[in-house]
Structure 1
Amino acid sequence: MLLGPLATKDPIPITTYSYENFKEFLTFLYLGKCAINIENVMAIVDLAESYNVQLLKDKCDTFLTNIEMTDANLYTVYANLKMYSLKAALENLFDYISFNVETILSSFGFMSAKKEFILDIVKLETLSTTEENLFNSISFKFKHELINNFVFFKY
């Protein structure tokens, strides 16, 4: 408890988040603004989610819509955006995927992509590739996965 006769007088340790990230979170609570950058944005989103501060979560969502998407950070960013339901940034990510789907389908990272990611690609209305190419890429990915799993369990 924080108040009342059962309130502890000892310091309350914050071990889940760094001092800097928690300070930015508290700065937002008290001042309505904080310094969000690429290094701390996901920690601040997690804090906003944990403490149910939707306004801060929306601010992080807006920040994430402006980051430059690359094939290198695509899968990590996707997983984080889905986990925290950051809709605007996710929409921006899907636009990037729609435009760069050929490169993504032929990338090494696609071979280890999660099923949910592939389903979201298939659901996109506009893709800069043919349905046949999409099907062949997904089929190849799952054949490769099946062969690797079979070899792993065979021995």
Structure 2
Amino acid sequence: MGFELSVVAAIFFLTAMVLGSFSYSMLTTSNEIVSDASEEQYKIQNAKLKTNIEVEDAIAGNYSGTYNLTVTLSNIGSESVYFDELNVLVDGNLEPYTYSDIAATWTPAETRNLTIAGLSGTGTHRVKVVTRNGVSAYSSYTV
């Protein structure tokens, strides 16, 4: 009976050691994943805080059923923005745009123009420009 008790105790001890080592490795891996995600979240929030744009002007071209809208934007933040990754909405509709600048990187204190072609409708409209990290600027214009 003493030998059987010793074997059972040894099996329980080995099982506890194996489970403990698995638990430790899983907790360590989970902690690393959470730490990496927290660092990435900090980087995203920091970039968002440093990003700021302003719509200086929105000018509609000559109206003949459709018109082109030229929007003048300034990067007034301290973070560079990728000009080709902007989302432009006119009256809530996502619109494709073109820009004439060669470089897609839009540095701070720089002003750029973009053009939205083929818009229609008269009256007052609203244009919204959104960067890839969610910072936006609004303006209204009249056709």
Task: With a CA cutoff of 8 Å and minimum separation of 6, indicate the structure with the bigger relative contact order.
Answer: 2
More helix by share: 1
In our comparison, the structure showing a higher alpha carbon Rg is 2
The normalised TM-score by structure 2 is: 0.24
More strand by share: 2
The normalised TM-score by structure 1 is: 0.22
